[in-house]
Structure 1
Amino acid sequence: MEKLRFGDGSDSLVVCEVDPELKEKLKKFRFRKETDNAAIIMKVDKDRQMVVLEEEFQVFEIRTTDDLTEAWLQEKLSFFR
């Protein structure tokens, strides 16, 4: 199982492990052939001390900076609250 580490290697601190299924998804995501937009959102499961998949998006909307209004940002980024 992959572990998320912080430090210079000699005295690193293991913070949490990475879910093996997520690790495989990330590998496929990194080397995917599609040229459309996609994203993977991860979260830390504090109880299991593990990085897990939260959501996966395929083909999402792109906007120009002129289109980024405060109302649009609040609607699209409400999960950060």
Structure 2
Amino acid sequence: MVQVQEMGPSSLVVCEVDESLKEKLKKFRFRKETNNAAILMKIDMEKQLVILEEEYEDISLDDLRNELPERQPRFIVYSYKYIHTDGRVSYPLCFIFSSPVGE
């Protein structure tokens, strides 16, 4: 569930996550690919649902930043290749909330 604060301090809208998006996120968590990838999500205010906007494969953080809308907040799940100082490789999963200044 995602809570979204609306205009006044007393009004709070709770959004559910779309069922097909939940499944996609579960699969993304256990993906076998070794490239950087992202799932971009947004809130459908009419349906009060967090929905999939776009999926990206082999995308850098800089390229992902360029894909974000300038005036609307987004949720991002990002998986990337990380090489530890001892040579081990892992693929951390990051949850990012992006909100343009003033939004």
Residue 38 of structure 2 is matched in structure 1 by 39
After TM superposition, the runs of 4+ consecutive aligned structure 1 residues lying more than 3 A away are 3-6
1:1-81 superposed matches below 5 A: 3-4=1-2, 15-61=14-60, 76-77=66-67, 79-81=69-71
How far does the alpha carbon of each residue in 1:51-71 deviate from its partner, in whole angstroms, 9 at most, with x for none?
0001100112466xxxxxxxx
Tell me which structure has the larger Cα radius of gyration.
1
Structure with the largest fraction of helix = 1
TM-score, structure 1 length as denominator? 0.63
| RMSD, aligned CA | 2.8
SS at match of 1:80: coil
Number of aligned residue pairs: give it. 63
Structure with the largest fraction of strand = 2
Call closer, same or farther: CA 1:5–1:39 in 2, change over 3 Å.
Answer: same
TM-score, structure 2 length as denominator? 0.50
| Alpha-carbon distance in structure 2 between the residues aligned to 1:20 and 1:77 | 24
